[in-house]
Amino acid sequence: MSARDHAISYPKFLWRAVSMATDGSWLFYTWMLVLTAIALVGANAWAQQTVDGMALTSMSDHVSWGLYIANFTFAVGLAAGGVMMVIPAYLYRDERMHDVVIVGELLAIAALVMALLFVVVDLGRPDRFWHLMPFIGRFHWPISMLTWDVIVLNGYLLINAHICGYLLYTRFIGKKPDPRWYIPFVMVSIVWAISVHTVTAFLYSGLGGRPFWNSALLAPRFLVTAFITGPAFIVLTLRFMRGATRFAVPSGPVATLVGVMRVTVIVNLFMLGAELFTELYSGGSHAAAAEYLWFGLHGANALVPWTWAALLFNVAAAVILLTPALARRYWVLNAACVLAFAGVWIEKGMGLIIPGFIPSTLHEIVEYVPSTTEWRITAGIWAFGLMVYTVLMKVALPIVAGEERLDRRGAPAKPTAPAPAARDEEE
């Protein structure tokens, strides 16, 4: 195809994508409407926070980061974990994974959008966002780890957007993707996924004044938990696709992902144990944050029930995943994924960020419980992220299945061209 052909077919691709993204059943519209409503509540809360100031949050000079940065950290992990699909598919040449790789990459895109939004809502001056742009503002690179994070997060977003966009577009125009145009990017994205979460861990572990974060184990643990939440979310997505849509995947990818999670849940628990031992056995003031998190300190114990719940969830998920008799059961495995996801969300969100500030650098104890504004904004961003993911999947799946082509439109795939990953419900 010449460049001129692309000039015609690419806009058609985009237009078809818009049309596909907005077409659906009443269930789809209801789902999107609910998400839109939540996102709007969040948008409104953010607007209010921008006008009235961050005083609407429960953050303080003692606990200067809260729910937003907690969710940012988790979302970055989810984005890194999304690419977990890519590693077996391309590094180990697991052919069965190829068709579902896109599910993970789209998850990475949606999670990155969320991560970036969580940073934006945490800014006291969102109007000065341009100060953070390289070449336009004053980009304090390479000294500030936050500038590294800006680079890796946006770069990761671009790489994944390119890979997904390229694969979908070539599929759409009925061509075989040229490996030169995506395999290098896939390889880069694997390394990049590691870097994204490592840099995010370095944001915290590089702060000498915060002993709770100042640990070399933080980055490895971030990666391990990323490879719990990413696969857990994708397994749930694939199973939802099988149950509620006409697209389904063979059980191979799910088995591979469950195999990954079997390892990561255990490694995560091991690392948690190693950290707790180091903190609590030697004791002293440096263990105060861990003591606060797990047992409460001087009567301040807001996080204690949460962190024990997280431990319970993670242990339960590990038990299920490592007991074949349980993991074979459909709903039990789903429950394990939900438990692992929720467990890491607590542990790596609030359970990581808040104890970094309690006790404060002057060893004062100021507790933090998110305000309703913070919950609203957080829910709004999650809803928006799910909307992005839904829309991306809605566009991508029919194209991957070969249903939507430049020369062909609509659902009934011709029997002569069976969709590779589609289970035709009409048969």
Q: Which residues pair with 408 in a beta bridge?
A: 405
Phi, psi of 300 (to 5 degrees): -90, 115
Cβ of residue 61: shortest distance to another protein, in angstroms?
6
Cβ of residue 412: shortest distance to another protein, in angstroms?
6
Residue 91 DSSP one-character state: I
Residue 205: HSE in the Cβ half-sphere, 13 Å Cα cutoff: 15
Shorter beta-carbon distance to another protein: residue 129 or 181: 129
Cβ of residue 34: shortest distance to another protein, in angstroms?
10
CA angle 209, 213, 215 (to 5 degrees): 105
Shorter beta-carbon distance to another protein: residue 265 or 393: 393
Q: Where are the alpha helices (DSSP H) in 53-144?
A: 67-82, 86, 101-122
Cβ of residue 365: shortest distance to another protein, in angstroms?
4
Shorter beta-carbon distance to another protein: residue 349 or 359: 359
Q: Which residues pair with 405 in a beta bridge?
A: 408
Cβ of residue 298: shortest distance to another protein, in angstroms?
4
Q: Which helix (H) or strand (E) holds 205?
A: helix 179-205
**Chain-centre distance of CA 23, in angstroms?**
26
Distance CA 210, CA 217 (A): 14
Determine whether 283 is exposed, middle or buried from the number of CB atoms within 10 Å of its CB (0-12, 13-18, 19+): exposed
Cβ of residue 283: shortest distance to another protein, in angstroms?
12
Distance CA 396, CA 312 (A): 36
Shorter beta-carbon distance to another protein: residue 24 or 94: 24
Shorter beta-carbon distance to another protein: residue 273 or 305: 305
Cβ of residue 367: shortest distance to another protein, in angstroms?
7
**Which residue, chain included where needed, has tokens 């048969």?**
427
The answer to whether residues 347 and 80 touch, using CB atoms and an 8 Å cutoff, is no
- Helix, coil or strand: residue 374: helix
Shorter beta-carbon distance to another protein: residue 347 or 403: 403
Shorter beta-carbon distance to another protein: residue 141 or 277: 141
